[in-house]
Amino acid sequence: MMTEFLAAALAFPTVVFSFLLLMVLAYWLTVALVGLDFDAPVMPISISVFIVITWFAALVGTVYTPEGKLRYAVFGGALLVGALVTRILLIPVRNWTRPEKPASRNDFVGRTAIIRTARVTEQYGQAEVTADDGGTAVVQVRAAQSTDLKAGQTALIFDYDAEGEFFWVVDITTGG
């Protein structure tokens, strides 16, 4: 039984992936022994999973196909199976490692806001704006020119003044 396994593992096309599998095992053994700490080793994980799956697919294909040109089809099939299965298996990993973009006040630029103060001037005003996550925030707003923006009206946030820590708004019902 063991000699049949070794014969299949050392036959083309499995031997190509057997060599790569040994490299993957050596890499992860080194990581474990040296104690390397990865924040999110997506690339090593994805390559390792791809090689393991491709090696197994090639091994199965080698066992079930006769010697000859059909083994080239096994090689290509193993690569295809490895790519597809790896893509499916790593969906959760991609979601874990996707860095969350820190919230920024500039995220509100381009959004509409509901005016919450009696009026908005060049020196005073507040409005309520909704964030991507559905939460709301009351922010300081200013109008570049005298407007008739009053409580309950909708305004467009078109800029953020970092120095003054307020948003510039414009009345969207009149366009200015």
The tokens describing 150, both together, are: 């009053």
Domain encompassing residue 22: 2-97
pLDDT at 154: 92
In a domain, 78, yes or no: yes
Of 97, 121, 143, the residue that ends a domain is 97
Asked if 77 and 64 count as a contact pair (C-beta separation under 8 A), the reply is no
**Quick check: helix, strand or coil at residue 22?**
helix
Q: Say yes or no: 119 and 153 in one domain.
A: yes
pLDDT at 61: 93
pLDDT at 45: 82
pLDDT at 126: 95
Asked if 48 and 27 count as a contact pair (C-beta separation under 8 A), the reply is yes
CB burial of residue 169 (10 Å; 0-12, 13-18, 19+): buried
pLDDT at 27: 86
CATH of the domain at 159: 2.40.50.140
The 10s digit of each residue's pLDDT in 91-139 is 877 666 556 666 678 889 999 999 999 989 888 999 999 987 788 899 9
CA nearest neighbour of 9 among 54, 50, 55? 55
Of 97, 115, 145, the residue that ends a domain is 97
Identify the weakest region by mean pLDDT among 34-43, 84-93, 139-148: 34-43
